[in-house]
Chain A
Amino acid sequence: MEIKRERIGTGTADTGGGPVDPRKLRVNTLDSHELLRGAELLGPSQPATMDGEELERYVHERVLTTTLEKAVAWGRSNSFFPLAFGLACCAMEQFQAAGPRLDIARFGYEAFRASPRQADLIILAGRVSIKMAPIIRRLYDQMLEPKWAISMGACCSSMGVFNNYALVPSDKFMPIDVHVPGCPPRPEGLMHGILKLRAMVQDDPDAGWRERYGARGTEEIVPGA
């Protein structure tokens, strides 16, 4: 194998091998002036530059601008960490949503966390009895902001099939963002609800739930003396 050595040169006085071709040096080809002048389209020695509409289109095709809130909201909405929390029959359909056919991992939500401190989405899957309601409230309080809640199924959204002494609709003790109807909702139904939440989070990047629900004044520790 023959090795051909080529002297490229560094742009100093020691040129040795002739004029330096700026395109051979990687740092030169990334020169922004060259880029904007359309050097790669028009050739290195053309004096013409792009301007106006052509420049705008050139930039639009290659550069993305956004606000910080939108970028953060996009990141948050595509990586919910649901809390591994199943109460009753809806939990079985939640498993199926995490199963191979309707794969919740396609959307990025497969990281079910056991600890509420690490989760940001609580999916109430099943009926909430009066004994369980304060515990769920405690779990919701332990979650860190920003946090969202989905009420899956008819039993926790309204009372469902059982309108009796033993159940509590989840709206009574915690703010819910999306109610998913069904008894139990199909995995596709649950997915529709989660994607609706994703759209909500992307549109409305205000993350604090107290602002969303007008709940200032319900804090446990009241600031100020």
Chain B
Amino acid sequence: MSPTEQQISEYRRQEQSITLSAVGDPPPEGPHEELFTLNFGPHHPATHGVLRLLVTLQGEVVRSIKPVVGYVHTGIEKTAEDKAYWKVIPVVERMDYLSYYFNAMAFCGAVETLAEVEVPKRAQYLRVIHLELNRIASHLIWLGTSALDLGAVSIFLYCLRERELILDLFEMSSGQRMHTRYFQVGGVMEDIPVGFERKLRDFIEIMPGRADQYGAILNSNEIVLQRLRGTCPLDADTLLSLGVTGPLLRAAGNPWDLRKAAPYSSYDDFAFQIPVGTVGDNYDRFAVRLAEIYESVKIIEQALDGLPEGPHITTDRKIALPPRHELATSMEALIHHFKLVTEGFRVPPGEVYYPIESPRGELACFVRSDGSSKPARVHMRDPSFVNLQALSRMAEGSYIADMIATLAMLDPILGGIDR
């Protein structure tokens, strides 16, 4: 059926009238100097989410990158203003969807600072255990998908195998594999069950060996080494001016880590080291994250050995639900339960900015409360949102393949970027 015979529908006519606006590149200087804009659309097989890059190429060399984000914008911050503080926790957890415990920790920490709630020691240690387990799980997915981008496909399956063990542990302690709502304001939701410690010790025993295996495979893979060594370096001063924190900054040589600099939730009770790179190229970023897995295992082991007895959530009944057996005997417990479940606890008015160290950098939660039971503003300062600005500086002047490797080593999580 030739086009002259058919009626072109209105939709198709509209679509044909769309022109792409100019991206603002300098004019070409000759037939071999023409700049070509390529759209790495929101759907592409590099599994970092729905990121759109407008890449201006000269031959195969990248001249400029313009990231376009917003394709998974969920209005989390707006939704959080509508819900009681307790109900904000699951909403905020789904932001940076690989490090869900960290989102919950930032928010709970901010609310605890505002409401001046003290978190018991046991709850702090349990929080550290789960945070470090989440850090390992996040690094495993990063390693798997980055190796997939670079062509080393089998690492993906090995990393998923280890992540299944971690998700089993999460399921044991809270009932859910992801987005567990385990962290509550004032502590954690439940104490760990009976077999958890045994299973966690088994995991701690095998994890360093498995990380050794990943290192052995990738460090002797000539292709991976050539793609990562010496590609897209960026020095620490430029990274600091761009606001980049986390493993990217540590790979460039600056040992800034909030767990050591401004410890929160009993991190100063544990002895661990901060892996730091020298050159700041992609290989250093990869090596820093791989080394962090070992350090996280060390922290978990120390936390498990030193786990103190005590309550798993604050005993302040105005903030935390009373245990169920009290509801049958105590009238005050019943009233507290009722008020907390229907209205939620009230937080004194004020504004607080609470930063923690997530697997991608400084994750902070800004909470403004106006005295009622719902927050007036919740803003998450997400590290991926700020780190993405460094991509164009890193990848300018390198080849497309190096840009893909850099994007993988940047570890962006679009849920956090778009919120």
Contacts from A to B (Cβ < 8 Å): 84-89, 91-93, 95-96, 98-101, 114, 116, 126-127, 129, 131-132, 135, 139, 155, 161-167, 183-184, 186, 219-225
Q: Give every chain B residue within 8 A of A225 (Cβ-Cβ).
A: 5-7
Are B75 and A186 in contact, CB atoms less than 8 angstroms apart? no
Are A132 and B72 in contact, CB atoms less than 8 angstroms apart? yes
Across chains A and B, which 10 residue pairs bring their CB atoms closest together, nearest first?
A99-B160, A166-B75, A89-B97, A114-B45, A164-B75, A132-B71, A100-B161, A222-B7, A101-B164, A129-B73
Q: Give every chain A residue within 8 A of B47 (Cβ-Cβ).
A: 84, 86, 91, 95
Are B43 and A88 in contact, CB atoms less than 8 angstroms apart? no
B90 at the interface (CB under 8 A from A): yes
Q: Give every chain A residue within 8 A of B49 (Cβ-Cβ).
A: 86-88, 91
Are A166 and B160 in contact, CB atoms less than 8 angstroms apart? no
Are A89 and B179 in contact, CB atoms less than 8 angstroms apart? yes
Please measure, in the bound complex, the distance between the C-alpha atom of A143 and the C-alpha atom of B219, giving whole angstroms: 39
Q: Give every chain A residue within 8 A of B161 (Cβ-Cβ).
A: 99-101
Are A129 and B74 in contact, CB atoms less than 8 angstroms apart? yes
Are B91 and A162 in contact, CB atoms less than 8 angstroms apart? yes
Are A95 and B94 in contact, CB atoms less than 8 angstroms apart? no
Are B41 and A167 in contact, CB atoms less than 8 angstroms apart? no
Are B160 and A96 in contact, CB atoms less than 8 angstroms apart? yes
Are A219 and B7 in contact, CB atoms less than 8 angstroms apart? no
Q: Give every chain A residue within 8 A of B11 (Cβ-Cβ).
A: 220
Whether A132 contacts B42 in the complex (CB less than 8 A), given A89-B415, A167-B74, comes out as: yes
Q: Which residue of B lies closest to A132 (CB)?
A: B71
Are B44 and A127 in contact, CB atoms less than 8 angstroms apart? no
Q: Give every chain B residue within 8 A of A93 (Cβ-Cβ).
A: 177-178
B218 at the interface (CB under 8 A from A): no
Interface centre among A88, A186, A219 (most CB of B within 10 A): A88
B386 at the interface (CB under 8 A from A): no
Are A186 and B177 in contact, CB atoms less than 8 angstroms apart? yes
19 A-B Cβ contacts within 8 A?
A: A87-B49, A88-B72, A88-B94, A88-B415, A89-B178, A92-B98, A95-B160, A96-B160, A98-B160, A99-B157, A100-B164, A135-B42, A139-B43, A161-B79, A161-B91, A166-B75, A167-B74, A220-B12, A225-B6
Least Cβ–Cβ distance between A151 and chain B, in angstroms: 15
B141-175 CB contact bits vs A (8 Å, 1 = yes)?
Answer: 10010000000000011001101100100000000
Please measure, in the bound complex, the distance between the C-alpha atom of A134 and the C-alpha atom of B143, giving whole angstroms: 31
Are A131 and B7 in contact, CB atoms less than 8 angstroms apart? no
Q: Give every chain A residue within 8 A of B9 (Cβ-Cβ).
A: 219-222
B331 at the interface (CB under 8 A from A): no
B8 at the interface (CB under 8 A from A): yes
Q: Give every chain A residue within 8 A of B44 (Cβ-Cβ).
A: 114
Please measure, in the bound complex, the distance between the C-alpha atom of A9 and the C-alpha atom of B179, giving whole angstroms: 78
Whether A162 contacts B71 in the complex (CB less than 8 A), given A87-B50, A89-B178, A99-B161, comes out as: no
Are B167 and A96 in contact, CB atoms less than 8 angstroms apart? yes
Q: Give every chain B residue within 8 A of A221 (Cβ-Cβ).
A: 1, 6-9, 12
Are B79 and A164 in contact, CB atoms less than 8 angstroms apart? yes
Give which listed residue, B72, B98, B141, B160, contacts A129 with CB less than 8 A: B72
15 more A-B residue pairs beyond the given contacts A131-B73, A225-B5, with a C-beta to C-beta distance below 8 A: A89-B94, A93-B177, A96-B167, A98-B160, A99-B161, A100-B157, A114-B44, A129-B73, A135-B41, A161-B90, A162-B76, A164-B74, A164-B75, A220-B12, A221-B9
Least Cβ–Cβ distance between B146 and chain A, in angstroms: 13
Whether A161 contacts B160 in the complex (CB less than 8 A), given A87-B50, A127-B74, comes out as: no
Q: Which residue of A lies closest to B82 (CB)?
A: A164
Q: Which residue of B lies closest to A222 (CB)?
A: B7
B78 at the interface (CB under 8 A from A): yes
Please measure, in the bound complex, the distance between the C-alpha atom of A88 and the C-alpha atom of B98, giving whole angstroms: 9
| B window 11-32: CB within 8 A of A | 11-12
Q: Give every chain A residue within 8 A of B418 (Cβ-Cβ).
A: 129
Are A167 and B42 in contact, CB atoms less than 8 angstroms apart? no
Give which listed residue, B8, B50, B76, B178, contacts A184 with CB less than 8 A: B178
Please measure, in the bound complex, the distance between the C-alpha atom of A161 and the C-alpha atom of B94, giving whole angstroms: 9
Least Cβ–Cβ distance between B346 and chain A, in angstroms: 24
Least Cβ–Cβ distance between A94 and chain B, in angstroms: 10
Q: Give every chain A residue within 8 A of B74 (Cβ-Cβ).
A: 88, 127, 129, 155, 162, 164, 166-167
Are A166 and B91 in contact, CB atoms less than 8 angstroms apart? no
Q: Give every chain A residue within 8 A of B73 (Cβ-Cβ).
A: 129, 131, 166
Are B94 and A223 in contact, CB atoms less than 8 angstroms apart? no
Please measure, in the bound complex, the distance between the C-alpha atom of A126 and the C-alpha atom of B97, giving whole angstroms: 11
Least Cβ–Cβ distance between B12 and chain A, in angstroms: 5
B59 at the interface (CB under 8 A from A): no
| B window 44-98: CB within 8 A of A | 44-45, 47, 49-50, 70-76, 78-79, 90-91, 94, 97-98
Q: Give every chain A residue within 8 A of B76 (Cβ-Cβ).
A: 162
| B window 297-344: CB within 8 A of A | none
Are B71 and A88 in contact, CB atoms less than 8 angstroms apart? no
Q: Give every chain B residue within 8 A of A220 (Cβ-Cβ).
A: 9, 11-12
Q: Which residue of B lies closest to A114 (CB)?
A: B45
Q: Give every chain A residue within 8 A of B72 (Cβ-Cβ).
A: 87-88, 126-127, 129, 132
Q: Give every chain A residue within 8 A of B97 (Cβ-Cβ).
A: 88-89, 92
Q: Give every chain B residue within 8 A of A163 (Cβ-Cβ).
A: 79
Please measure, in the bound complex, the distance between the C-alpha atom of A155 and the C-alpha atom of B74, giving whole angstroms: 10
Q: Give every chain B residue within 8 A of A99 (Cβ-Cβ).
A: 157, 160-161, 163-164
Q: Give every chain B residue within 8 A of A116 (Cβ-Cβ).
A: 43
Least Cβ–Cβ distance between A86 and chain B, in angstroms: 6
